[in-house]
Amino acid sequence: MSAITHHTPDAMLAAYAAGNLPHAFAVAVASHVSLCTQCRVALEAHQSVGGAILEETGAVAVSSNLKDDILAQLDAPFTPEPVYDRKGIYPGPVMEAMKGRAPRWKKLGLGVRQDILSEDANGSVRLLYIPPGQAVPDHSHSGLELTLVLQGSFSDATGRFGVGDIEIADEDLEHTPVADEGDACICLAATDARLRFRGLMPRLLQPVFRI
């Protein structure tokens, strides 16, 4: 894997460490951190600071009802969540989002495919497969979009993004990402709002493709 040059912003790492990121963005950040030593070190620093703050925080009395509820939960049968390891190009957090399965690609046209891993009112997480040389229709953003490259690379007006790089796009960015020559570009994309396409056909198909 080539050197990672596009990283998760420090403020977003701090929010992830505090558990304050929406699910879609948490999956993208966790996946990036699993690939990027620099961001993993920064995240561990934020987690250490959070732990130190908790240690210095004074104890707070709780009601007897809350104490009984907690003890009852501790006595309940425990079923551990499965742990997913990296498989091929897919980091552990992506495998967890897929529940250990392989991607279920659905065609979007012009060779582009997607697999929606999760979707709710707070955002969506999906895998995108873009053939070499193929462009994603020109679009801007109604909110925030995090795009993590898992295979191949793509380029847009802001630069080139290779394996492990993460692009943070907001309402101020309008771009036309194009997959570079070589391997097909496979990305993990997390959004908290629908994209805003300029072209008529992408706008008409947007409700069908849910992007």
pLDDT tens-digit readout, 125-183: 999 999 999 999 899 999 999 999 999 999 999 999 999 999 999 999 999 999 999 99
What number is the average pLDDT over the span 54-74?
A: 64
Per-residue pLDDT at 4:
97
Residue 138 to residue 159: CA distance in whole angstroms: 16
- Residue 78's pLDDT is 64
Higher pLDDT, 181 or 207: 181
Residue with tokens 């809350």: 66
pLDDT of 37-46, one tens digit each? 999 999 999 9
**Residue 197 or 103, more confident:** 103
What is d(CA 5, CA 8) in angstroms, rounded to the nearest whole number?
10
Q: What is the pTM of this model?
A: 0.83
Give me the pLDDT at residue 52, please. Answer: 54
Q: 101-209 maps to which CATH number?
A: 2.60.120.10
Token output for 19? 């558990």
Give the distance, in angstroms, between the CA of residue 63 and the centroid of all CA atoms in the same chain: 38
Q: What residues contact 92, with CB distance under 8 A and at least 6 apart?
A: 34, 83, 84, 85, 86
- The pLDDT, as a whole number, for residue 203 is 74
Using CA atoms, how far apart are residues 190 and 75, in angstroms rounded to an integer?
37
pLDDT band at 200 (very low <50, low <70, confident <90, very high): confident
Q: What is the pLDDT of residues 107-119, one digit of tens each?
A: 998 999 999 999 9
Residue 65 has pLDDT above 90, yes or no: no
Q: Tell me the domain boundaries of the chain.
A: 101-209
So what's the pLDDT on residue 180? 98
In the predicted model, is pLDDT for residue 53 greater than 60?
A: no
